[in-house]
Chains A and B, each alone.
Chain A
């Protein structure tokens, strides 16, 4: 078996892997390898031919392939190695990565550090156990996006979309533009789970109804899908009897959530966060394994690629510091806790003695939509470190904030983040 040696191996050549590699290179890592399973770099951005990417990071509006190409071009001018069509099969505890491709067969890479950037996959029909028959014509919105935007084929003529996730909303517009009748989007929750701008630009602008607090209770058809039964659901998401409604359609697209692809990380023994379904990391995006870093959708599902890029740069920088032995010798762990209005916070802990950056960037998601709330950050001495006003928070839009490093002292042992209704003055 062929053996290679690198300072840094990055698994995944999507937006996370690309930005992490470039940042590590800028910080002086000499031998970097990206392993990408597809025959091209850029990951899922290649099939995201709509615009809206890069508003934060580049301050301009790009399509997915354009956003990816900014990084791919920079990478082509660097000495970062890339292996395409390459699937990582196993990561071993002694810093060895086993991968396979057409040219090298099975091969081994010895590395000093590793960045996990494998992205995520879509939740399936099986995972949410929609009852009924099993005809053709049911697929995830991302699979449909791949057929339409990469292969040039349409999955159907009359489409119902289950779930108001961003890919579903984007596909509602995309298919409408292709002449498909998108009959409506069914959402279990009482609110849209995607970005507000996607609801406005992809549904409202095209007169596509969004049915909140509704679910699909049965799938009909033996060979090809013939229709679905939809029903309104109560507060505990149970279908309300008598509200059933048959909708004929030949296609059902699912946009019911994304799941980080952590099979490799799990097998390696990374500690996982039950909510994000990604590794538990500190602000440097180091997992519980000191030479393994994680960023992008494999860590937690982002709604904006701009955030993925920023997070990947943090991981790339931290991996470079680790490889170049520039990390602080001693660490002091500060645990991040949060109240029940918050679903999760990344990072899950921080190192109080790390003085690499001036600020620590936090990502969080709320459990329920709300308006005019205060995001309050306190330390273990109950001292308020931040008190920020947020006019609108909703689960579909990630909340980010920066905590100045100076607020974390060597005596800080925990930091609590809460979101609560603004007190009337």
Chain B
């Protein structure tokens, strides 16, 4: 297999680069080691579109987040991705020192060109967010922050690239990079070699590992773990804006924000960890996040009960603390997009545009003429909840699967699930379905619809129910048929718990 451009990593950055370059007459292959796109940092974050008011405009990430803010609305419109922007944010403070920090943040925001920011006194603050802790004294309002569904965003970018001829190879892991005469010529993967003129490293948490296959590097990706609470939709009305707690050194502050789908997301702390697979939540951190931030900002939000789930995201932060977007220093044809932590989700389109510049600068004899039948959008999936009752009836008449509700909590039909399985980037496991159409993402967390979704996947993919996974690889949901275990020969271990 050979291609002009090979992108390593199917997160929002890899997908954005594929989308950016797919408009030209270039062959593009994106490889992703997981069973779906959007499986790393891109899927577990605060899902916010940062305006850049609280980011240093002098850094690369500052420049890119500001640039991306100018184009993301049009991009989401083209790709039919739900984006709520502007929504606005309020940074909330309790102490005089918080007020001082807010004044500095406001200056920074003005310097970054954000208009309409305003310091709020206690009365104004509580008028805007009546459920806030009454002890909250200071507020900084900023009008531009937005929210997005990061799965939909990443999937849409990748789908658009596929529609325009790019190939997305899932379950494909890069094992090594082939270099000849100080120029990259391709990659070795678990599925075979792929020859490529340009290789783009968008491997997220593993970007250092990939970059080190090419040359000595002066950075490392040090995962920074953040834990989150996701609340039941019945709490949606507890706030209007995205809420930041006062700033900390290591993050832009803890957040309590609405999601596109109407849940409340709250978190996250920042813990440096060594293990890039450490997606554990811990009682200690959850308690601390709840006590210091969630209940401190919104005392009505419970510690348990209406919590849909808690989860961990690993930010792919580099030891340089800024984005590293540059060509390899000693080898031709290799470009890094590394250290993409927050605000990477927002900056993605600007990062992709910057990478296009770097690809052109490599002068690898590529055809940058525009593709003749370029599609700048994609056909959005049918979403029944967006349709009127009459429109739904018409659709059900055409395809009765849209009238069969599989996920009762989120009212998702069989038709929508079937669509997700057969989209340009197919959903082939339980979590992939959940990320595409929310089946299993509601309050019963797939308790009722799980067996039904598993059955549909098994049938549509032509595999046994025993081969259906939760999230790819060996994450099988079921282990054997009834009676198989009792018919097994040999001694089995029936040891019980002893304490």
Q: Which residues of A contact B (CB under 8 A)?
A: 1-2, 37, 85, 87, 89, 98, 100-107, 121-122, 124-129, 131-137, 139-140, 142-143, 146-148, 150-158, 160, 177-181, 183-184, 207-209, 211, 214, 217-219, 222-224, 230, 232, 239, 243, 245, 247, 250-251, 261, 263, 266
Q: Which residues of A contact B309 (CB under 8 A)?
A: 124-126
**Shortest CB distance A90–B (Å):** 9
Please determine whether B484 and A154 come into contact, CB atoms closer than 8 angstroms: yes
Residues of A within 8 Å of B476, CB to CB, are 136, 224
A155 near B479: Cβ-Cβ < 8 Å: yes
Which residues on A sit within 8 Å (CB–CB) of B409?
263
Which B residues are in CB contact (< 8 Å) with A134? 279, 311
Known: A37-B405, A178-B483. A211 touches B497 (CB 8 A): yes
- Bound-complex Cα distance A166 to B86 (A): 49
Q: Report the Cα distance A208→B496, complex, angstroms.
A: 7
Q: Are A151 and B451 within 8 A (Cβ)? A: yes
A156–B481 alpha-carbon span in the complex (Å): 10
Q: How far is the CA of A301 from the CA of B390 in the complex (A)?
A: 37
- Give B contacts to A, CB under 8 Å: 229-230, 234, 277, 279-283, 286, 303-311, 389-390, 392-394, 396-397, 400-401, 403-405, 408-409, 411, 443-448, 450-451, 455, 465-466, 469-471, 473-488, 492-499
**A103 and B402 alpha carbons, distance in the complex (Å):** 10
Contact B451 A126 (CB under 8 A): no
- Are B389 and A136 in touch, CB under 8 angstroms? no
Task: Select from chain A the residue with minimum beta-carbon distance to B306.
Answer: A127
Closest to A154 in B: B480
How far in angstroms is the closest Cβ of chain B from A86? Answer: 9
Determine the chain A residues whose CB is within 8 A of the CB of B279 once the complex forms.
Answer: 133-134, 222
A425 CB → nearest B CB, Å: 42
A219–B498 Cα distance when bound, in Å, is: 18
Contacts of B229 in A (CB 8 A): 129
A-B pairs with lowest CB-CB distance, top 4: A179-B485, A105-B393, A179-B486, A126-B309
Name the residue in A98, A102, A208, A219 with the highest tally of chain B Cβ atoms < 10 Å from its Cβ: A102
Bound together, the chains give a CA A103 to CA B497 distance in angstroms of 51
Beyond the given pairs A124-B447, A125-B445, A129-B304, 12 more chain A to chain B contacts, judged by CB atoms under 8 angstroms and listed by A's residue number, are: A126-B309, A133-B280, A136-B477, A139-B447, A139-B450, A154-B480, A154-B484, A181-B495, A183-B496, A207-B496, A223-B475, A250-B479
Which listed residue (B230, B283, B394, B485) contacts A180, Cβ 8 A?
B485
Complex: chain A residue closest to B485, CB-CB? A179
The smallest beta-carbon distance between A135 and chain B, in angstroms, is 7
> Would you call B443 and A121 a contact (CB within 8 A)?
yes
- How far is B408's CA from A181's CA once the two chains are assembled, in angstroms? 33
A216 to chain B, nearest CB (A): 10
Contact A184 B496 (CB under 8 A): yes
Beta-carbon contact of A178 and B392 below 8 Å: no
- Which residue of chain B has its CB nearest to the CB of A150? B451
Smallest CB-CB separation from B309: which chain A residue?
A126
Query: Given A179-B488, A224-B476, A230-B497, is A105 in contact with B403 using a C-beta cutoff of 8 Å?
Result: yes
B482 touches A153 (CB 8 A): yes
Residues of the A chain whose Cβ atoms lie less than 8 Å from the Cβ of B479: 154-157, 250-251
- Which residues from chain B contact A211 at a C-beta distance below 8 Å? 497, 499
**Bound complex: CA of A365 vs CA of B377, how far in Å?**
58
Q: State whether A136 touches B469 (Cβ < 8 A).
A: yes
Q: Is the pair A245, B499 in contact by a Cβ cutoff of 8 Å?
A: yes
Indicate if the CB atoms of A106 and B400 lie closer than 8 Å: no
When distances are taken between beta carbons in the complex, the residues of chain A under 8 Å from B450 are 139, 143
| A24 smallest CB distance to B (angstroms) | 25
* Nearest residue, chain A, Cβ from B450: A143
In the complex, are the beta carbons of A154 and B485 less than 8 A apart? yes
Contact of A98 among B308, B389, B480, B496 (CB under 8 A): B389
Is B404 a contact of A101 with CB atoms below 8 Å?
yes
A261: which B residues are within 8 A, CB to CB? Answer: 408
Q: Which residues of B contact A153 (CB under 8 A)?
A: 465-466, 478, 480-482
Asked if B280 and A218 make an inter-chain contact with CB atoms under 8 angstroms apart, the answer reads yes
Instruction: Tell me the complex Cα distance, A183–B495, Å.
Output: 7
Residues of A within 8 A of B390 (CB): 1, 106
Q: Return 24 A-B CB contacts under 8 Å, by A number.
A: A1-B393, A37-B408, A102-B403, A106-B393, A106-B403, A124-B308, A125-B309, A129-B286, A135-B475, A146-B451, A151-B465, A152-B482, A154-B484, A178-B485, A178-B486, A183-B496, A208-B496, A211-B499, A218-B280, A219-B280, A224-B475, A224-B476, A250-B479, A251-B479
Contact B396 A105 (CB under 8 A): yes
Residues of A within 8 A of B403 (CB): 100-106
Interface residue from A2, A89, A148, A181 paired with B482 (Cβ < 8 Å) = A148
Residue contact B392 to A209, C-beta cutoff 8 Å: no
- Contact status A147-B283, CB under 8 Å: no
Chain B: minimal CB distance from A179 (Å) = 3
B390, chain A: closest CB distance, angstroms: 6
| Chain B residues with CB under 8 A of A232 | 499
Pairwise interchain contact A136-B475, C-beta atoms closer than 8 A: yes
Q: How far is B496's CA from A152's CA once the two chains are assembled, in angstroms?
A: 25
Query: Which of A137, A179, A222 lies in contact with B492, CB distance below 8 A?
Result: A179
B280 touches A132 (CB 8 A): yes
A residues less than 8 Å from B473 (CB atoms): 223
CA distance A101 to B392 in the complex (A): 11
Known contacts being A157-B480, A181-B493, is A105 close to B447, with CB within 8 Å?
A: no
The residues of B that contact A101 with a CB separation of less than 8 Å are 403-404
